[in-house]
């Protein structure tokens, strides 16, 4: 199946901009990269070792909204090679991302790994299931070390993904990562 990211983001306006700035030829070859939207073991391992990600959603008025999502390491889980999901806890009760997803299923995620200077972008059609409506999935997504009340399950049906280049990602370390560093050499 051919669902690579250029199909979603190389709109006519983007192609015109590439043309205008002399980058169209460099970008055209990316449009033929085929069916790489299915996650491989590499992406699954990367996703399941994150402790946070950024999620962009779109309101019905067209405004994008980006929110940071943080949790225990591994709270974003792969269900299969085209589906990832997390349990959404009760938070500040503004429900902006939730409302946006109800208005438009489209979401874009960015998953950072600062120590290894990597970032993975994901485009997904997103749905929300109330926590009580799928107890099997709820159990799969629950984090044993985090006791807050799960309100809903957020499920991403991945349409495309792309690894970005590491340039300009400053290595940063969590306290836990610093404690695990071998500084002897
Ligand atoms: C009691 C409480 C718990 C929260 N827990 C989390 C959390 O686990 N992860 C997180 O990223 N934000 C947490 N937040 C911050 C936001 O409430 C949360 O990100 C929320 O989902 C924001 O959604 P929205 O900006 O889409 O409305 C918490 C806030 C409160 C008040």
64 within 8 A of 57, measured Cβ to Cβ:
yes
Query: For residue range 119-137, what is the model confidence (pLDDT) as tens digits?
Result: 999 999 999 999 999 999 9
Task: Calculate how far, in angstroms, residue 36's C-alpha sits from the geometric centre of ligand 1.
Answer: 32
Task: Kindly give the distance from the C-alpha atom of residue 25 to the centroid of ligand 1, in angstroms, as a whole number.
Answer: 43
Domain that holds residue 20: 1-36
Nearest residue CA, atom 30 of ligand 1? 91
Q: Is the pLDDT of residue 62 over 80?
A: yes
pLDDT of residue 178: 86
Angle 12-35-62 (CA atoms, 0-180°, nearest 5)?
A: 40
Cα 22 to middle of ligand 1, angstroms? 43
Q: List, for residues 18-55, the tens digit of each pLDDT value.
A: 999 999 999 998 886 566 578 999 999 999 999 999 99
Q: Are residues 88 and 17 in the same domain?
A: no
The enclosing domain of 132 has a CATH number of 2.30.110.10
Cβ proximity of 119 and 110 under 8 Å: yes
Check pLDDT > 60 for residue 3: no
Per the domain annotation, does 176 fall within a domain? Answer: no
Q: Is the pLDDT of residue 65 over 90?
A: yes
Token duo for residue 180: 């695990």
Query: Is residue 78 located within the same domain as residue 4?
Result: no
| Residue 30 and residue 43 in one domain | no
Both 53 and 135 in one domain: the answer is yes
Q: Residue 2 pLDDT more than 60?
A: no
Judgement on whether residues 70 and 100 belong to the same structural domain of the protein? yes
* Domain identity same for 56 and 82: yes
- What is the pTM assigned to this prediction? 0.92
Q: Distance from the CA of 92 to the center of ligand 1, in angstroms?
A: 5
| 61 & 139 share domain | yes
Same domain, 109 and 155: yes
- Give mean pLDDT, residues 153-168: 91
Q: Quick one: average pLDDT of 9-18? A: 96
Q: Which ligand 1 atom is nearest residue 68's CA?
A: 11
Q: Taking CB atoms and a 6 Å cutoff, what residues make up the pocket around ligand 1?
A: 67-71, 89, 91-92, 94-97
Residue 180 lies in a domain: no
Q: Are 71 and 149 in the same domain?
A: yes
Residue 178 belongs to some domain of the structure: no
Same domain, 73 and 140: yes
pLDDT (0 to 100) of residue 111: 98
Asked if 59 and 117 sit in the same domain, the reply is: yes
pLDDT attached to residue 1: 38
pLDDT over 70 for what percent of the chain? 95
Q: Is 68 exposed, middle or buried (0-12, 13-18, 19+ CB in 10 A)?
A: exposed
């Amino acid at each position: 199946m051919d669902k690579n990211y250029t199909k979603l983001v190389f709109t006519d306006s983007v192609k015109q901009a590439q043309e205008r700035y002399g980058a169209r030829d460099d970008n055209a070859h990316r449009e033929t990269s085929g069916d790489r939207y299915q996650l491989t073991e590499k992406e699954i391992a990367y996703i399941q070792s994150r402790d946070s990600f950024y999620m962009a959603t779109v309101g019905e008025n067209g405004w994008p909204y980006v929110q940071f999502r943080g949790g225990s390491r591994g709270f974003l889980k792969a269900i299969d090679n085209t589906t990832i999901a997390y349990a959404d806890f009760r938070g500040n009760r503004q429900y902006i991302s939730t409302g946006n997803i109800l208005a438009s299923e489209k979401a874009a995620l960015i998953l950072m790994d600062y120590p290894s200077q990597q970032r993975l972008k994901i485009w997904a059609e997103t749905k929300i299931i109330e926590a009580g409506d799928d107890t099997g999935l709820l159990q799969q997504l629950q984090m044993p070390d985090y006791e807050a009340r799960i309100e809903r399950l957020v499920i991403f049906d991945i349409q495309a993904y792309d690894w970005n280049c590491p340039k300009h990602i400053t290595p940063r370390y969590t306290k836990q990562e610093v404690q695990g560093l071998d500084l002897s050499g």
